[in-house]
Amino acid sequence: MRLCSTLATLLLLSSLAVAQNWKQVHKKDEEKWSKATGLDIYTIHKLWRAASQAADEKDDDSRIAVIDLEGLAERHDVLLVTYHGEHNCLRLTVFRQLSESKFEKIWSVEQPPDATGFCDTNFGSAKAEAQNGVIKVRVPASQSDGGTSYKIYDYDWNGLTYRLADEKDAEAP
């Protein structure tokens, strides 16, 4: 009985330590991205929470990979890329910037039409960025002769929303 009680206490303490650890991890992420973007920490936190699928931020293992204020700026849009899970799967979220600190979530995607996800593979890491109004996602697909091939997805604005505009295979430069 005493062993069960000790194990239960250790389990409870370890779960509390993990929850506190995520809070610290998220706080450091928010500080880093606040410095990188010039947005205040509170705004970074609100964007991250709006992009999250977790109901409780203490249980949220997502991290910020990219905050791009430039690539979609023509429409006053901001790309936030987060990653989560064992395979660092990406979630892309676009916010429309309404004022210096007010943003509206307008679009989000976390997997291509084939439902495979934008995840790291044994061949490398998935990446996403915005360039000239187009969101580009690159997922490593295979490796041969020392080179990696990628599945490239381009999402662009169709006047109402972002949509998949192109999907192709490409070799790494």
- The range of the structural domain enclosing residue 149 comes to 2-171
The pLDDT tens digits for 151-164 are 999 999 999 999 99
Three-state SS for 57?
Answer: helix
**What pLDDT is stored for residue 51 in this prediction?**
95
Q: CB under 8 Å, gap of 24 or more: what pairs does 133-142 form?
A: 133/71, 133/72, 133/74, 133/75, 133/157, 134/71, 134/165, 135/71, 135/72, 135/79, 135/92, 135/94, 135/162, 137/90, 137/92, 137/112, 139/112, 141/169
Stated pTM of the model: 0.84
Question: How far is residue 26 from each of residues 82, 108, 123, 137, 150, measured CA to CA in Å?
Answer: 12, 21, 28, 24, 30
Could you identify the residue written with the tokens 């997502």?
Answer: 62
**Phi-psi region for residue 115, left (φ > 0), alpha (ψ -120 to 50) or beta?**
left
**Mean pLDDT of all residues belonging to the chain:** 87
Q: What is the mean pLDDT of residues 52-68?
A: 90
The total of structural domains in the chain comes to: 1
Could you identify the residue written with the tokens 């899970």?
Answer: 85
**What pLDDT is stored for residue 173 in this prediction?**
60
Judged by average pLDDT, the poorest of 8-12, 77-81, 91-95, 161-165 is: 8-12
**What pLDDT is stored for residue 59 in this prediction?**
81
